[in-house]
With several copies, the nearest count.
Chain A
Amino acid sequence: MRKIFSHTEGMITDPMHYCPGCTHGIIHRLVGETLIELGIRERAVGISPVGCSVFTYKYFRCDMFQASHGRAPAVATGAKRCRPELVVFCYQGDGDLAAIGTSEIIHAANRGEKITCIFVNNAIYGMTGGQMAPTTIPGQRTSTTPGGRNVAEDGFPLKMSEILSQLQTPGYIARVSMHSPAEIIKAKQIVRKAFEYQVSNTCFSFVEFLSTCPTNWGMSPVDSLNWMKTNMLPYYPLGEHKIPEKHEGGSR
């Protein structure tokens, strides 16, 4: 029999620490496979954030940094500017990237750093026990919004892909979701494209993943997929939000 699907060489085979059904694991796989498919594992440097994916460095079979909370794009900038031959990618959660790290991601994107950012939006601070994130959906209950996110006090969810797409500096910005196998398949193509843009030295690339947190959402993994589809998709439209080819130089 022929193996038509198996564990990617881009990752180690040990079990991961994520909660059952947490889609962080799927996202890992897509990145790991891409490292192999593009033949870049041996010149890749990944950057783990602070968040549930803090141990990402244990899972990817490539050189890794563990960065401070929110600053992975700055670490990536330092690494890539000094060794442009490396393929540098960040893996960040939404607390990490859209709260404390807002400035770093925007400026890395705006400088056009030739790095790839994998952004895992699960609408919550997973690791610290389910506090409201900037990406939390209106009305969503968290450990710090006992009555649900109140847009009058906390504002609306932050849409990082839209914000970054707004920048004039060329970049590749896309949003994908983990709520169904079909979306996962689409996501894989987009992750590949994102890395390809780096490999060809074209531009900054960024993929936002809608992801689940069954533990802190207080739902089963399957219910989480449905909740995500019903509640997150309306706020976070999927698709390629910006592609470098469409960039029109100096005009707005």
Chain B
Amino acid sequence: MPLIKVVNDKCKGCELCINACPQKIIRLSDKINTQGFRYAQVVDKPRCIGCKLCALSCPDLAIEVFAEGCRYEFYPY
């Protein structure tokens, strides 16, 4: 099961990942981080397909993506 990890303190709550996610499973948290921003979090983890589009869209390099086993890479990343 793929998984994304948001480095909370780097997130600026810009919502570009939310906009990018085809599964629409990211939302902003109600809490704020040390920078004073509401940060992104996945609300429906099992639905993540590990497509990385969120990470690719994040201007603040705040998202890491994990996966298990062998995967077919859709695009050269």
In the complex, what residues of A have CB within 8 A of residue B32's CB? none
Is B23 an interface residue, CB under 8 A from the partner?
A: no
A contact set with B: CB distance below 8 Å: 1-8, 11, 13, 15-16, 18-26, 29, 180-181, 184-185, 188-189, 214, 220-222, 225
A15 pairs with B35, CB closer than 8 A: yes
Given contacts A3-B66, A15-B9, A15-B35, contact A184 B15 (CB under 8 A): no
Number of B interface residues, CB 8 Å? Answer: 34
Closest to B1 in A: A1
Docked complex Cα distance between A26 and B60 (Å): 7
Identify which of B13, B64, B66 contacts A7 (C-beta below 8 A): B64
B59 pairs with A26, CB closer than 8 A: yes
A222 pairs with B67, CB closer than 8 A: no
In the complex, what residues of A have CB within 8 A of residue B71's CB? 4
Docked complex Cα distance between A21 and B40 (Å): 12
B3 pairs with A1, CB closer than 8 A: yes
A4 pairs with B19, CB closer than 8 A: no
In the complex, what residues of B have CB within 8 A of residue A7's CB? 61, 64
B15 pairs with A15, CB closer than 8 A: no
B52 pairs with A221, CB closer than 8 A: no
Is B55 an interface residue, CB under 8 A from the partner?
A: yes
> What mask results when residues 8 to 52 of chain B are scored 1 for a CB within 8 Å of chain A, else 0?
011011111011100000000000000101000000000000101
A3 pairs with B64, CB closer than 8 A: yes
Given contacts A15-B10, A20-B14, A181-B20, contact A4 B52 (CB under 8 A): yes
A-B contact pairs, 24 of them (CB 8 A): A1-B3, A1-B66, A1-B68, A3-B64, A3-B66, A4-B50, A5-B56, A11-B61, A16-B59, A16-B60, A19-B12, A20-B13, A21-B15, A25-B61, A180-B20, A181-B56, A185-B56, A185-B76, A185-B77, A188-B77, A189-B76, A214-B14, A221-B15, A221-B16
Nearest first, the 7 A-B pairs at minimum CB distance are A25-B59, A21-B14, A20-B12, A5-B65, A20-B14, A181-B53, A1-B66
Docked complex Cα distance between A27 and B59 (Å): 8
Closest to B71 in A: A4
Chain A nearest Cβ from B24, distance in angstroms: 13
Closest to A222 in B: B19
A5 pairs with B14, CB closer than 8 A: no
Closest to B4 in A: A5
A185 pairs with B65, CB closer than 8 A: no
B15 pairs with A6, CB closer than 8 A: no
Docked complex Cα distance between A29 and B55 (Å): 11
Docked complex Cα distance between A23 and B59 (Å): 6
Closest to B22 in A: A181
Identify which of B37, B53, B56, B76 contacts A20 (C-beta below 8 A): B37
Docked complex Cα distance between A163 and B53 (Å): 33
Identify which of A3, A13, A18 contacts B59 (C-beta below 8 A): A18
Chain B nearest Cβ from A124, distance in angstroms: 17
B58 pairs with A185, CB closer than 8 A: no
B75 pairs with A21, CB closer than 8 A: no
Docked complex Cα distance between A220 and B18 (Å): 13
